[in-house]
Structure 1
Amino acid sequence: MPPVAFITPSEIDLTHVIADQEDIRRFNPQRFEMEQLSAIVRIDTEQNLIVGYKDITGDEFWCRGHIPGFPLMPGVLICEVAAQLCSYFCQAVQLVPNGFLGFGGMEDVRFRGQVRPGDRLVIAGKAQRLHRRQTIFETQGFVDGAMVYHGRIIGVPIVAPTGAQTADQNGS
């Protein structure tokens, strides 16, 4: 049985974009095929809540091979969308000022539906623990209002080594 949604999909205003892909790039270092967020539509620092989405297109790098003739978004990429959303939140609240929040682990992950080209995967994250050494977010994903994913994302700070290019330094 899925958990109770901590935000009702019908109360999410997907038209009120507060961060588009260019804005997301200011905080998240992923580029090219690994950019997994299309937009952020809500940040609530009092409730430690963030909501964003990924528009799934037929041009995704995984469509050709996962599953030919019936492409399904791989579960690991759904988790990556959730992790990038949580990382964005931590950067936006300046929890990791000299780096970014990296993927530290996952717990209690379940997939409850399909995510396919043409879908909009709405991801919500609610911080259970915000600390500069480790964060824990409960995350939930929805397609057309139905919960298709839920899991706990653990984040750890990543500081780029001296001399490494950050997103801002390489012109992105």
Structure 2
Amino acid sequence: MSLMTVEEIKKIIPHRYPFLLIDRVEEMEIGKKIVAKKNVSVNEPFFQGHFPHEPVMPGVLILEAMAQAGAVALLSLENFQGKTAYFGGIDKAKFRRKVTPGDTLMLEVELLKVKSSAGIGKGVAYVDGKKVAEAELTFMIG
């Protein structure tokens, strides 16, 4: 499956503006892997305070964007449709570069384990092909 729009994403996960942090799904293997995109705009509400003199996307929001992408892949599985994926944990998070207005954040999440009420994924975020962040994400399905 490929090229999912914001409207289609909103049918799978409950996030809405200003907290929906993915703009498009570029490609997806349901329940296995997803590649999503976030266009980082200077108009993002968090830039007003982080930081007014040097706008930088907060690392926790990069992780949240990865988690939202992973949730789309996970909740697209037939047995999870209509449910919500919650953060169950974050491990091995590393931040390598700043994400600033004008960047296109590419989010890749590979689901490593999927169980009846949980999943674990490896997420990596890139800007211009360079790794900006990575983490192991645990999802709880409710």
1:17 offset after TM fit, Å?
Answer: 5.6
1:121 maps to which of 96, 105, 110: 105
Alignment check: 8 A CA contact 1:95 1:131 kept:
no
Q: CA RMSD in A?
A: 1.5
- Residue 42 of structure 2 corresponds to residue 42 of structure 1: no
Q: Secondary structure at the match of 2:75?
A: helix
Between the aligned partners of 2:124 and 2:78, the Cα distance in structure 1 is 23
* Amino-acid identity (%): 25
1:132 offset after TM fit, Å?
Answer: 2.3
1:33 maps to which of 18, 21, 30: 18
Aligned residues: 142
Counterpart in the other structure of 1:97? 81
1:98 offset after TM fit, Å?
Answer: 4.2
Between the aligned partners of 2:115 and 2:36, the Cα distance in structure 1 is 22
Structure 1 runs of 4+ aligned residues shifted over 4 Å read none
Between the aligned partners of 2:33 and 2:131, the Cα distance in structure 1 is 17
1:56 maps to which of 17, 40, 43: 40
Counterpart in the other structure of 1:153? 137
Quick check: which one's strand share is greater?
2
- Segments of 5+ residues of structure 2 without an aligned counterpart are none
2:122 maps to which of 116, 120, 138: 138
TM-score scaled to structure 1, two decimals?
0.78
- Segments of 5+ residues of structure 1 without an aligned counterpart are 1-15, 159-172
